[in-house]
Amino acid sequence: MTPQQLAEATAKAMYEADACSRALGIELVEVRPGYARLQMNVRPDFLNGHAICHGGLMFTLADSAFAFACNSYNVITVAAGCSSSSSGRYTAATA
């Protein structure tokens, strides 16, 4: 199996098991070893009080893309997060 075939087979299995991404309408547009591109249409029920897409849904889309890209090699992947501020505003980092 080529690396591309492995990436596609892994993505297919992951997508079929990912009820959340499917329910949100997230679509896998492209996958290759170490890379994934997903898309999600912003529905009216995704909007927050400012009439923009809720940040949690944007994070879910990004998290799914990261998961598909990392697992495209079909090896164990580890991610970590940490806060970069204690002043009330936090950012997360992954590695």
> For the segment 42-88, what is each residue's pLDDT rounded down to a tens digit?
999 999 999 999 999 999 999 999 999 988 887 766 555 555 555 55
Asked whether 94 and 80 are in contact (CB, 8 A), the reply is: yes
In a domain, 15, yes or no: yes
Q: Which domain holds residue 64?
A: 3-71
Query: What DSSP designation does 47 have?
Result: B
Q: Is residue 32 part of a domain?
A: yes
Longest Cα separation, the chain: 50
What DSSP element (H or E) covers 51? none
Domains identified in the chain, total number = 1
Residue 93 maps to a domain: no
- Considering the domain boundaries, does residue 18 fall inside one? yes
Whole-structure pTM value:
0.74
User: How far apart, in Å, are the Cα atoms of 12 and each of 5, 71, 89?
Assistant: 10, 11, 37
Residue 84 belongs to a domain: no
